[in-house]
Amino acid sequence: MEQGLDKLEDARAVRQTVFVEEQGFRDEFDEIDPIAHHLVVYIENTPVATGRVFPGTGGEYIIGRIAVIRPYRGEGFGRIVMENLENQARALGAMAITLAAQTQARGFYESLGYQADGEVFLEEHCPHITMKKSLLHADSGTDSLDNIQHTV
């Protein structure tokens, strides 16, 4: 886990591939990147997934930019990224997590204990929904990254 993208070009590369080239987003990199904590998951020195977490307000942290390279989707890497970002947020004092989920990924986040909050909205051209999860009394079990090379 690193703060900022300066030392994590692989996080930038995964996001560029998934969000810009594949999904057509234009405003992928923003003013949050320098303050956020970023995670990259590698398989045999190949970056396959990334995400970031940063403080919101009132004990709430925000997780975002969860991306998994296409050939590695459905293999649990998104879950590994989420659980490790949640643990980082807990370590930083988070009481709750908020995220803006692409509506097509809503079921994935619900499987991790997130609940929709509000109406669907567009972020650039893509429908999203705000989702929240309380970390109070939540199980902090994390899939092991022992067999995966990663940056933590």
Element (H, E) at 90: helix 77-91
Q: What is the mean pLDDT of the chain?
A: 89
Task: Place 152 in a pLDDT band, splitting at 50, 70 and 90.
Answer: very low
Model pTM?
0.87
Distance in Å from the first CA to the final CA of the chain: 4
Encoding tokens for residue 51?
């995400």
Closest CA to 98 of 84, 85, 81, 111: 85
Q: What is the pLDDT of residues 98-139, one digit of tens each?
A: 999 999 999 999 999 999 999 999 988 899 999 999 988 655
**Percent of the chain with pLDDT strictly greater than 90:** 77
- Is residue 86 pLDDT above 50, yes or no? yes
Amino acid at 11: A
